[in-house]
Structure 1
Amino acid sequence: MQKLVGPLLERLTTFVFPVLLIGLAAVALLTHSGRFENNAGRQLELRVWEDSSPSGTSSAQLASAMLNAVSPSKLLETHLSARPFWIALSVYSDAPVIDFPSRHAMSLSCWDAESGVVLGTGNRSSTDGRMAISRAGFSLDLEGLATHSLLCKASFRGPAKISAEGWTHESLERSQFAHYRSGIMIESAIGILAVFMLLTAIVNRSRLYLTFVGWLLLNMRMAGISAGTDFEFFGYQIPADYLIAIRQFTVCSYFAITIVLFNLLFSKELRKFAFQQPLNILQVSALAALVLGPLLPFEVMLVGVWLGTAIGVAVIFCYLILILVGNHSRVAGWYVASMAVTLGASLNEVVAAALDQRALLVGLNSVSAAIASALLASAAVAEHMRTHRLQTLKAQQLLEAAYQDSPIGLFSVGDGVLISKMNPAFESLMRAELQSSHIRLSDFFDSVTVERIAALHLEKAGGTLELQTSVESEDGLTRRWFAIRASTVDGSIIECSLQDITERVSATERLEYLASHDPLTGCLNLRGLGLKAGAAQQRPVALAYFDLDRFKLINDLYGHTAGDLVLKQVAERMQRVLQPGDLLARIGGDEFVVVFYQGYMAECEIKCNTITTLIGSAPFQMESQSFALDVSAGLVGTEQFKNSELKDIVSAADTLCRMAKKRPHQRMVVMQSGDRFFQQHQDELDLINCLERGETPEGLFLVMQPEVSLSRPFDSLNFEMLVRLRKADGLIVPAGTIIEAAEAHGKTAIIDRWVVNTAIRWLEAHTHELRNTHFVGVNLSGGSLNDEQFTEELFALFKQHPVALEKICIEITETVAITDMRNMQRFIDRVRSMGGKVALDDFGAGYSSFGYLKGLSVDSLKLDGSLVRDAVRSQAGQAIIVSIAGLVRSLGMKSVGEFAEDLPTIKVLYEAGIDYAQGYGISKPVEGDQILAARSGADFVEDPEILAFLKQLQSQEEPSMRLFSDSAFSSIQ
């Protein structure tokens, strides 16, 4: 049965329906042909004068005088003028009824030209006297009057043609009846098509068909305008006040919807063309017609639409021809025929008017063309429907084939939870076979999966569900994972797909593990720690940060393999101390974090001490090698952090750990004074945030700490520049906090760049006040010296400021200098070649090897405070600085002793042969104004015993050491 019905329907829609539409179009043309032509009145000659006065109220006498000078004609165009027109014509006794047929006439008044008596007046709302509305225009009945000539005044809106015809009563009645039938025919013929297409659009829920319904209705109104029957709409009179507005809206809407219909009807074909610009212009013009057209004056709008129509028709025809040639599209053929009929009718009327004929082709007029065009356009839409149906059938066949051949399991759930259909792939995946109509979802999936899929039956508006489920193997040893996607349109049938994602789930679990764990030790990483802590039901008690000391030496001396084994053993020892629920994470190369969830703060401190003891007491073994390690730790209680994020707590513990590293006899620092620590930590966080944005912190300023000569204390004013930060509340952030924050995040160049620029500006501004200044210390961090961009900026700055450079001495810490001695020597040579000086800072805090001093041609060496303190406490310490002083002097350098806190220390430095002393015994850091007010470093000494000793040194006739005669020396912390 299906094999017979399918081809029959295809033949009906392919041949019968289009042929039937063609027959209807032909019948419409034949039955309507000659309707107007066979009922024509007698064409009268007119003399027409346009009243161009500003108010358009010229008198009848003036109009008559002007008309006498006008040549008579039978037809005149108004050229869209809205001014009044005066008309003079002669009357014949054999045609007593004068008809003015223009559908664009809005008002008409007529007088007896000889007596001046008003014969009748009328407009689209009412008529008076012998004036009546006739067909599309007005008529004047002169039966029984001895009138030989008329004078009329008329107004028009639109492309009107002024003419007059003489009729007998009988012939005019027949013509009026034919005109009435034309209106009925337009509305009935096109209206039936519109109703049919509306039902089709509703059934198919098609935007194209609904648009075509709108096009048919507007085409009906356009045909009514052309035929002069648009004064009524399905028998209802349209108020005269709204007539022009409705015509304007109709014309604009018809222009726009024609373009929209074309785009919808040939959307697939048009997308294939490379040149889309003409289509875009059409769409813009359609939108402009809808939005701007009703706002413009009627006559201006008409000109715009005519121009747009001419361009639009040309563009549409070009695309249609291309579609016909390229695709042999039947839809395009019907559409071309529809447009050809419309254009043919328009050309027929235009050419006929030019030749002073009523029509060239009998039967081809606006009414018949509108009906035929609508029928042919309907044929185009019908062909589109047929093509769409065939494509749907083909798609269904392809879909069924794809359903059966798909490697993805497909199944349908019908009544309740019954599986009504499945493809071979589903049978293979689930080892099922559709042998009966009672296979249930529960035969394959767990109850939760079944309930979620079955719930889609309640989604009457449609819905989609995606889920994952697992199924145990038959032996119960393994599980397979499946991804299910279920969807329904109305809740009756649920279509589902099934994919085996066992391998993907396993790979995802492995990736998730690697993303949240350290692959070496098996501990959590920072991301995993955050996820675990965020998912925990309770708040942690405390958090500890551990950093292995000198771990880098193991990697450098024995290789990374040894280092990796040590890290594994460290993690194992830490794990022994922790309780279930505590979290251990490795967040850096040799850094670990522990989050405690059990016990109190005191218990957590005991655990941390146990961890440090376990790591530091027993060596780590690898084959024949044994390694000893120490660890630094910081412990914070989380209660004081309230709702802070985990990263803020980790940062606080890291700060404590770094504090522990600076305390050789204290492995762990526990947060004691919460307020003080929080303030310091907040200062550091604010600095870090500012530096991370690449900004220079606000509030930076410089202070100076004098360095006094131990040979001529009152002859020189030398000092070291130190950086500080003043907050908005006036509190001072020390240099240590600033530098640590910058070094920890690799942003030291920002601070150093500000310091060097500020120091240079200050030195140049006060060159004359600093005549006794031989050197000014400015310290540069290792991170800045390893930044090529910063060093190039530095040398460019030195080149621009040679005067300031003469007093500057760049201080480089010992550990930074020996890390890359070759590169550092090039830096030192370049600074000295430009006129500056370089000092080696904190000598004795690092490797303290005399061997590398000969490889670095610095100008001075600055002893670390630890060496100076030891020299005061022991003879061995004093011997060390004596040897250092002798070596430095033999290498042509100068020496400076830091931490000169009291008179004994200063005396030890002097006796050892150190050139300069710096420390609180001389002066604390002071403001720049105090430096400018002094003549020497000794002016800042307040201790009378130290001052007396310095005066004694000054009074020596032959000083044991010469002054530092060169110009550069600087430092900054």
Structure 2
Amino acid sequence: MGVREQQPNLRRKLTLLVTGLGLTIVLTVGFMVAVVQIQSAITAYTFGESVWSRAQVDAVRHFHRFGETGRFRELAQARQSLMVPIGDLHARLAMTASELDWARARKGLEQGGIHPDDFTRMILLVRYLSWLEPMETAINAWQATDDLLMEMDQIGNAMEREWLSESPDRSHLQDLEQRLSTLDDQLRSRALVFRLAMGEAARWAAGFLSWVSAGFLALVTLLSWFLAVQLVKLLQRSEQSFRSIFEQSAIGIVQIDPAGRIVNANQATCDILGYSREELVPHSYRALIHPEDWEIEKEARVAINRGDIDNYTTEHRLVRKSGELLWARLTISRVWDAASHSFYFTTVLEDISESHRLSTELSYLATHDSLTDLINRRAFEQQLASHLGRVRNGGEQHALCFIDLDQFKVANDTSGHDAGDQLLRQVASIIQKNLRDTDILARLGGDEFGLILQHCDLDIAHRLAEKVRASLDHLVFTWRGTSHTISCSIGVVPITAETTGISALMRAADIACYTAKDGGRNRVCLMALDDEQLATQRGEMEWLSRIQTAFQEDRFFLEGQVIAPSRHSNRGLRYEVLIRLRAPDGKVVPPNAFLPPAERFGVAGRIDRWVITHVLEALSRAPQHLERLDACHINLSGRSFDQSGFADFVVSQFTRYQIPPHKICFEITETAAVHNLLEAEAFMKRLGDMGCQFALDDFGSGLSSFGYLRQLPVTCLKIDGMFVRDILTNDTDLAMVRAIHDIGHTMHMTTVAEYVESEQAAALLTDIGVDLLQGYWVHRPCPLEDILNMDDV
């Protein structure tokens, strides 16, 4: 058999050996990683058990303190601590269910205080290795705590009922505390079993890893030895094939002597550079490099000549024979020639012109908005920081503008996102045409634009902003036969040396823009950074931290206001739940003080979640009240619809407290429904399918009124109180109330009049035919607990 026939056979054998060795190594690493992951998961469970135990101990301690003192803060802390083991309970149920519920399991582990990096390995351990004896013992001990935790929660509820009563029964409280101590001992015992079982699982994993590692190590050693023998044989033939590799390589390979002359080059190098081999061989290597790039990596070039380094990689431009430039990646290596006792350089040359072009495009995309081709928020903030730095150095004046489109969401929701995208392109083009060459326009996201007006004082900035506003004033955008009128609101602030940073500057411009929108839209609002109005807006922003503190200190509470039939009927009890806030000094804060900032700064959704949870929890404790309840009205903020998972949360609360959905009527303001039309419609459809009722609140106060009623599954129409308040003296308000009531009844909706404050107004509304009345004449708001305990309305 000849050499040529032997080499393919040898290569096939080496390929099989290398593949086998590789697979063995992969399997070894896989086994090691798997066991390490198991050990990590066991360690995570051991840590989780300590968190679980601490939380359980804290819960018992706070329940005891609550039983002794009646301080509801202790009860809140006990329940908060109890949520840790209950979260673990929910996670285990999701992991051991017939179909694994990843989302629920992750949420439960997060509630249980587990680090997110451990979620996956912990879920997989229970899911697929629960058959192991130590794991089975641990899970059984875990499951045995379920009833004990639920009983502990019930004991807390029983303590709460005692302390809420007029005369708490101390003996009953002592019995509950004694049972709580018993539960504590039982839970500690289960935790010890769980901990010991996990320790046994960890020892098993360590032993298993040792045996597997030893076996695979022996196999890898044997294969490596055999492979080394075969490689030696192959290397003896490699010298013969080097020339063919050099010539047939698809990338350029060049050999250069210490003087910088090319002594050899393969065909790929000739093809890349456009030279023949005869033209390249005497050629100077430096002559191929663009003169401006010769200094690139100069230090590395000197180091490799001295022998300090063996190789380096660089990128620069090369000059082809035709004079064209190309970007190349060059890997230069220093090679010692033992035969001649000298060294030479081997350069591997790759043409990266295309990848360099793509990199340039990606860099552009990273700093520009793909829809409008304007710079994006990131690049805009960099520009703003640069301008602020120059202002601080003195001698320059600039202004910052925030531009927000009016009624864009209506156009986007009704005509679709393609229409919205086209509208944004058109708006960007119009604004750009009305700016100076030196001004910088960016799309910040959604329908918001940022603008830096360079080298101008506030007066000039105001005129330029007005020019932009006028260019968009009553812009009529038509899409497939539907026309939309678009305008914009602009906030303008100066860029001054006193500005603390770009965040403060952006926030000030945002506040100015909001003030423009709040003042009626389609206008420019000019603010200095020390403007009184800006200070007022900042004061409202401070409500964000106050509301957060109120949540932490449990200072929110609920009241209710009865909604009564206008005529005697067999309707059950109906009332609206109202959120209230108690200040640290004990005074009740008016809702109009904290709800508008909550809406404006994004915490209204959290308030909605708090209200829903506490209302459903209260109803679950009053089954007799629930039987005669016609509907409990709960207000929802439009901001809640912007939050992903809000509908899932509401559904989960119905499931948790087992409240019949038809007993709840969610109130959504007309303005919120219109501004969040698609989200509101999806939410109402999902909850409506469960049986929930929906009321459109403050109807008639918005811009759209009757047109959106056909799109929303509304069963109840609440007439805005501004029309009801003066119904006895204002004919226009009376006509408005009649019109809303008539259209509501035509669409088979129940109508409700708000702000009914006199018997005469109630009588007039009854004559009109309004179904339900709400106001101080009907019922003054009172604590929700009083309504839950009402015998009659």
TM bin, normalised by shorter chain, reads 0.5 to 0.7
1:575–1:760 CA distance, 2 compared to 1 (3 A)? same
1:466–1:599 CA distance, 2 compared to 1 (3 A)? farther
> Paired residue for 1:411?
254
1:935–1:759 CA distance, 2 compared to 1 (3 A)? closer
Q: CA contact under 8 A between 1:878 and 1:912: conserved in structure 2?
A: no
Aligned length: 554
Within the candidate set 697, 701, 711, 2:556 is matched to: 701
1:417–1:894 CA distance, 2 compared to 1 (3 A)? same
Within the candidate set 278, 288, 309, 1:462 is matched to: 309
Q: CA contact under 8 A between 1:779 and 1:811: conserved in structure 2?
A: yes
> Paired residue for 1:573?
430
Q: How does 1:489-888 map to 2 (within 5 A)?
A: 493-530=344-381, 538=389, 541-552=398-409, 554=411, 564-617=421-474, 619=476, 628-637=485-494, 639=496, 642=499, 644=501, 653-654=509-510, 657-658=513-514, 660-664=516-520, 667-671=523-527, 672=531, 673-681=533-541, 684=544, 699=554, 701-704=556-559, 706=561, 720-723=576-579, 734-742=594-602, 748=605, 750-762=606-618, 777-781=633-637, 783=641, 787-797=646-656, 799-800=658-659, 809-814=665-670, 816=673, 824=684, 827-828=687-688, 830-831=690-691, 838-844=694-700, 845=702, 847-849=704-706, 852=709, 858=715, 860-865=716-721, 867-868=723-724, 875-885=731-741
> Paired residue for 2:62?
none
> Paired residue for 1:450?
294
> Paired residue for 2:750?
893
SS of equivalent to 2:373 = coil
Q: What is the TM-score with the length of structure 2 in the denominator? A: 0.54
> Paired residue for 2:265?
422
Letter of the 1:415 counterpart: P
Compute the displacement of 1:574 (Å).
Answer: 1.1
CA displacement, residues 547-605 of structure 1 (integer Å, 9 cap, x when unaligned): 32233555577676665554333212211333344332224453322234432344434
Q: CA contact under 8 A between 2:315 and 2:327: conserved in structure 1?
A: yes
In 1, Cα distance between equivalents of 2:491 and 2:422: 24
Q: What is the TM-score with the length of structure 1 in the denominator? A: 0.46
In 2, Cα distance between equivalents of 1:438 and 1:822: 75
Gaps of at least 5 residues in structure 1 are 1-266, 279-314, 331-386, 937-964, 968-973
Q: CA contact under 8 A between 2:499 and 2:505: conserved in structure 1?
A: no
Q: CA contact under 8 A between 1:565 and 1:622: conserved in structure 2?
A: no
1:276–1:840 CA distance, 2 compared to 1 (3 A)? closer
1:547–1:411 CA distance, 2 compared to 1 (3 A)? same
SS of equivalent to 2:706 = coil
Compute the displacement of 1:884 (Å).
Answer: 3.0
In 2, Cα distance between equivalents of 1:606 and 1:770: 62
Q: How does 1:159-178 map to 2 (within 5 A)?
A: none
1:696–1:926 CA distance, 2 compared to 1 (3 A)? same
1:454–1:755 CA distance, 2 compared to 1 (3 A)? closer
Q: CA contact under 8 A between 1:871 and 1:880: conserved in structure 2?
A: no
SS of equivalent to 1:594 = strand
Query: RMSD value over aligned CA atoms?
Result: 5.9
Compute the displacement of 1:505 (Å).
Answer: 2.0
1:427–1:904 CA distance, 2 compared to 1 (3 A)? farther
1:413–1:453 CA distance, 2 compared to 1 (3 A)? farther
Letter of the 1:735 counterpart: L
Q: CA contact under 8 A between 1:577 and 1:611: conserved in structure 2?
A: yes
Letter of the 1:409 counterpart: G
Bigger radius of gyration among the two = 1
Q: CA contact under 8 A between 2:274 and 2:322: conserved in structure 1?
A: no
Q: How does 1:945-964 map to 2 (within 5 A)?
A: none
Letter of the 1:470 counterpart: R
Q: CA contact under 8 A between 2:256 and 2:264: conserved in structure 1?
A: yes
Q: Would you say 1:485 and 2:331 are equivalent positions? A: yes
CA displacement, residues 323-349 of structure 1 (integer Å, 9 cap, x when unaligned): 99x78969xxxxxxxxxxxxxxxxxxx
1:641–1:758 CA distance, 2 compared to 1 (3 A)? farther
Q: CA contact under 8 A between 2:577 and 2:634: conserved in structure 1?
A: yes
In 1, Cα distance between equivalents of 2:686 and 2:363: 48
CA displacement, residues 358-392 of structure 1 (integer Å, 9 cap, x when unaligned): xxxxxxxxxxxxxxxxxxxxxxxxxxxxx85x765
Q: CA contact under 8 A between 2:762 and 2:773: conserved in structure 1?
A: no
In 2, Cα distance between equivalents of 1:277 and 1:883: 77
SS of equivalent to 1:451 = coil
Q: How does 1:138-537 map to 2 (within 5 A)?
A: 274=24, 394-432=237-275, 433=277, 439-452=283-296, 455=299, 456-459=301-304, 460-462=307-309, 464-471=311-318, 479-488=325-334, 493-530=344-381
Compute the displacement of 1:911 (Å).
Answer: 8.9
Q: CA contact under 8 A between 2:721 and 2:753: conserved in structure 1?
A: no
In 1, Cα distance between equivalents of 2:411 and 2:219: 81
In 1, Cα distance between equivalents of 2:400 and 2:332: 46
1:699–1:417 CA distance, 2 compared to 1 (3 A)? farther
In 1, Cα distance between equivalents of 2:27 and 2:365: 53
Compute the displacement of 1:498 (Å).
Answer: 1.8
1:592–1:327 CA distance, 2 compared to 1 (3 A)? closer
In 2, Cα distance between equivalents of 1:452 and 1:911: 90
Gaps of at least 5 residues in structure 2 are 1-16, 29-215, 337-341, 392-397
Compute the displacement of 1:435 (Å).
Answer: 5.5
Letter of the 1:778 counterpart: I
In 1, Cα distance between equivalents of 2:27 and 2:736: 88
SS of equivalent to 1:882 = helix
Report percent identity of matched pairs: 23
Compute the displacement of 1:811 (Å).
Answer: 1.8
> Paired residue for 2:212?
none
Q: CA contact under 8 A between 2:401 and 2:492: conserved in structure 1?
A: yes
Q: CA contact under 8 A between 1:776 and 1:809: conserved in structure 2?
A: yes
Compute the displacement of 1:738 (Å).
Answer: 2.6
> Paired residue for 2:36?
none
Compute the displacement of 1:697 (Å).
Answer: 7.0
Q: CA contact under 8 A between 1:831 and 1:838: conserved in structure 2?
A: no
1:847–1:641 CA distance, 2 compared to 1 (3 A)? farther
SS of equivalent to 1:485 = strand
In 2, Cα distance between equivalents of 1:270 and 1:625: 67
SS of equivalent to 2:327 = strand
> Paired residue for 2:121?
none
Compute the displacement of 1:503 (Å).
Answer: 1.9
SS of equivalent to 1:440 = coil
1:545–1:275 CA distance, 2 compared to 1 (3 A)? closer
Deviates more, 1:630-639 or 1:495-504: 630-639
SS of equivalent to 2:430 = helix
In 2, Cα distance between equivalents of 1:513 and 1:759: 52
Letter of the 1:795 counterpart: F
Q: CA contact under 8 A between 1:488 and 1:495: conserved in structure 2?
A: yes
The structure with the largest helix share of the pair is: 2
Compute the displacement of 1:828 (Å).
Answer: 4.8
In 2, Cα distance between equivalents of 1:322 and 1:566: 67
Letter of the 2:249 counterpart: S
In 2, Cα distance between equivalents of 1:276 and 1:770: 62
SS of equivalent to 2:349 = strand
Letter of the 1:466 counterpart: T
Compute the displacement of 1:651 (Å).
Answer: 6.2
